[in-house]
Amino acid sequence: MKTQTTETTTFVLPRSGARVARRAAMIVALCALVATLTATWLSSSPAEAGKGKPAPAAKAGKADAPAPAPVVTAIDDDGIEIDGDAPKKSTKRGKAKGELTGKLNLNTATVEQLTLLPGVGPSKAERVIEWRGKNGGFKRVADLRKVKGFGYKTLKKLEPYLDIKGDTTLAAK
């Protein structure tokens, strides 16, 4: 009987120092990136940086004298100068909640009637009428959400004034 012997050769790939150094550098870089992003995310935004916090000293060694407060003045629509401490006028569009009475029928309202609603301008009113024509009218008030520009918050704000049946009785007080 003849026996054959075979030799098996095992190759061991040596870990070169360069490969290990490259992997370590990648891991360190990744950790630094994550730490930077986390620190940026947790810190306050630049818009909030100066609110309610004392300003940092310009240079070390100088006396910490309070900086003079800036004087803010503006001119209103009538040409009257307003100082920065005066209460600001509201810039919200549309009518306030308490200024409207009645209901608006979404299926029969005109552009003029729709623009009486708070936050609804001519373009949104046109979209409502276009959607109504394309889809055969509103089956329920919540269908207004299907019109571009009318999300959940807008619908909740307008719901007390909306209906899908009956006459439009919406009017400014």
Please, what are the domains in the chain?
A: 97-172 (1.10.150.320)
Residue with more model confidence, 73 or 136 = 136
If you average pLDDT over residues 163-173, what whole number do you get?
88
Nearest alpha carbon to residue 163 among 146, 147, 139, 145 = 139
State in Å, rounded, how far the first CA of the chain is from the last one.
115
> pLDDT band at 135, cuts 50/70/90?
very high
**Would you say residue 133 has pLDDT above 90?**
yes
> pLDDT band at 15, cuts 50/70/90?
low
- pLDDT, one tens digit per residue, over 82-128 is 555 544 544 444 444 458 899 999 999 999 999 999 999 999 999 99
Note the pTM of the prediction, 2 decimals: 0.45
- pLDDT, one tens digit per residue, over 25-82 is 899 998 888 888 787 777 655 555 445 555 555 455 555 566 666 655 666 555 555 5
97-129 exposure pattern, b = at least 16 Cβ within 10 A, e = fewer? eeebeebbbbeebeeebbbbbbebeeebbebbe
pLDDT given at position 108? 94
pLDDT given at position 1? 59
